[in-house]
Amino acid sequence: MGQSRDRGGLPTARSGGGSRRRKIQKSFNNLKITVLCGFITILVLRGTIGFGNLGGHGANSDSGQKVIEDIDRILREIRSDSDPDDDETPPVDSASNSTSLAADNSTTAAAAAAAAAKNYTLGPKISDWNERRRRWLSENPGFPSQVAGGKPRILLVTGSPPNPCDNPIGDHYLLKSTKNKIDYCRLHGIEIVYNMAHLDRELAGYWAKLPLIRRLMLSHPEVEWIWWMDSDALFTDMAFEIPLSHYDAHNLVIHGYPDLLFAQHSWIALNTGSFLLRNCQWSLDLLDAWAPMGPKGPIREEAGRILTANLKGRPAFEADDQSALIYLLLSQQDRWSDKVYIENSYFLHGFWAGLVERYEEMMDKYHPGLGDERWPFVTHFVGCKPCGSYGDYPVEKCLGSMERAFNFADNQVLRLYGFDHRGLSSPKIRRIRNQTATPLDVKDQLSLQARISSS
């Protein structure tokens, strides 16, 4: 559900028949706990008895804290080894004419997967959505497709799995990320849907956004644009307004680089962590064409092999929605590309590394509203996976950087109320403007786009 994907490494999907393996794993975990506990016992005893006086700091509190961290780490490892959520049910052949996939022959398997994939659909085919939507809007003037100021109605869609994160701190950062989105959307008149449900078992994980987007389009004809945004993407320019008028002739707005896409066929030419999709027939058709690589199991695995073989730099793993979209746009360029706006004049998606270290410099030199490398619109923590067990980067670096991004954004809201954070790593705030008996005089002078000092 909107989690950033691995840039490398094999997924931890389990095949059937791992029951014995899981039991071995469990016994190994128990031994691990035993050894660590024994070690901790000795460590703490030493700390308590060796520096035994009650007045001591240092060793006692350090080793106590280290003990807690070690125990936490072990618990995380144990949880991550536990049985997979049975929402991730063994994949089924999606079609009624089920082709046997038991054969080990890779050509047969590929052909079978392709056949099954062709039979997968997101839902009954709809061919007249533009006309139906237009009619509904005219019959329901109370639900206009424009909001105050004549802006097209946008629905921001995001979400996370319904269960607690493997890593407890993950839920805290999901909460902060959600507050961040609430703030931006309130300032810009955008509605939010936060999804915590698996609408389609076969399209679980990062693919879950497809059935969700389709469902919301069809249920909300008053919405002009669906804006998907990953849960690990934060708004960092609270003043920036998406220039929707640039996209009047387009239906998909996505961050990327045309050269990387069309010339190099790079698997990171586009980023599906933050994109806009117009509520129209073209988009329904795109979703239908996009989905077939997604169904879990042999289909997704075989599709992954195709994508790795065809996209530059792609590691070997099951098909992900981003690679599949890139492949689709390359292999059916004539059908889709004229309506796709590959946007890189601002950071509709901004990869976090290289941005987060520069926030203070940005505050010194620039101001909100720019949206680009000077003041990134969105900072996206690809690869951090704070909710899961295994990210591609050190946990502390990710969490520290997410905290900085959150506070950098929060400052732009708090200053409207006369406060900011003491530092980008601090949850504490300080007053930066005295209260007054005439608050509305100040209000009229406040601007989201005004400079913010870093000192």
Question: Rounded CA gap, 158 and 64, in Å?
Answer: 39
Question: Rounded CA gap, 147 and 183, in Å?
Answer: 18
Question: Rounded CA gap, 432 and 418, in Å?
Answer: 5
Instruction: Answer whether 206's CB lies under 8 Å from 261's CB.
Output: no
CA dist 116 → 5, 14, 54, 284, 297 (Å)? 25, 21, 70, 20, 11
Q: In angstroms, give the least distance from the CB of 440 to a copy of itself.
A: 5
Please report the beta strands in 206-335, taking only residues with DSSP state E, as ranges in sequence order. 225-229, 233-235, 252-256, 270-278
Interface residue with a copy of itself among 95, 126, 328, 395 (CB under 8 A) is 126
Q: How many CA atoms lie within 13 A of 345 on its CB side?
A: 8
Give every CB contact of residue 320 below 8 A, 6+ residues apart in sequence: 5, 206, 207, 304, 307
Q: Is 433 in the site for a copy of itself (CB under 8 A)?
A: no
31-36 — which CB contacts under 8 Å span 24+ positions?
A: 32/74, 32/77, 32/78, 33/74, 33/78, 36/70, 36/71, 36/74
Closer CB to a copy of itself, 41 or 447, in the complex: 41
Q: In angstroms, give the least distance from the CB of 102 to a copy of itself.
A: 27
Calculate helix-pair angle for 168-188, 395-414, nearest 10 degrees: 30
Question: Rounded CA gap, 362 and 364, in Å?
Answer: 5
Q: Which of the stretches 192-200, 286-294, 304-312, 326-334 binds a copy of itself when contact is defined by CB under 8 A?
A: 192-200
Question: Rounded CA gap, 84 and 361, in Å?
Answer: 44
Interface residue with a copy of itself among 88, 191, 360, 392 (CB under 8 A) is 191
Closer CB to a copy of itself, 132 or 250, in the complex: 132
Instruction: Answer whether 3's CB lies under 8 Å from 177's CB.
Output: no
Interface residue with a copy of itself among 105, 435, 445, 455 (CB under 8 A) is 435
- Return the residues of window 326-365 that contact a copy of itself according to CB under 8 A: none
- Return the residues of window 96-125 that contact a copy of itself according to CB under 8 A: 123-125
Q: Which of the stretches 58-66, 106-114, 291-299, 363-371 binds a copy of itself when contact is defined by CB under 8 A?
A: 58-66
Q: Is 437 in the site for a copy of itself (CB under 8 A)?
A: yes
- Letters for 135-174 (x = contact with a copy of itself by CB under 8 A, - = none) are -x-----x-----xx----------x-xxxx--xx-xx-x
Q: Is 130 in the site for a copy of itself (CB under 8 A)?
A: no
Closer CB to a copy of itself, 310 or 389, in the complex: 389
- Residue 227 corresponds to which tokens in the numbers above? 């804006």
- Residue 103 corresponds to which tokens in the numbers above? 């054969």
Closer CB to a copy of itself, 159 or 297, in the complex: 159
Q: Which of the stretches 310-318, 364-372, 374-382, 432-440 binds a copy of itself when contact is defined by CB under 8 A?
A: 432-440
- Letters for 9-48 (x = contact with a copy of itself by CB under 8 A, - = none) are -----------x--xx-xx-xxx-xx--xx-xx--xx-xx
Q: Is 75 in the site for a copy of itself (CB under 8 A)?
A: yes
Q: Is 219 in the site for a copy of itself (CB under 8 A)?
A: yes
- Return the residues of window 223-262 that contact a copy of itself according to CB under 8 A: none
**Neighbour-count burial for 125-146, b at 16+ CB within 10 Å, e otherwise:** eeeebeeebeeeeeeeeeeebe
Q: How many residues bind a copy of itself (CB under 8 A)?
A: 90
- Return the residues of window 354-413 that contact a copy of itself according to CB under 8 A: 410
Closer CB to a copy of itself, 68 or 92, in the complex: 68
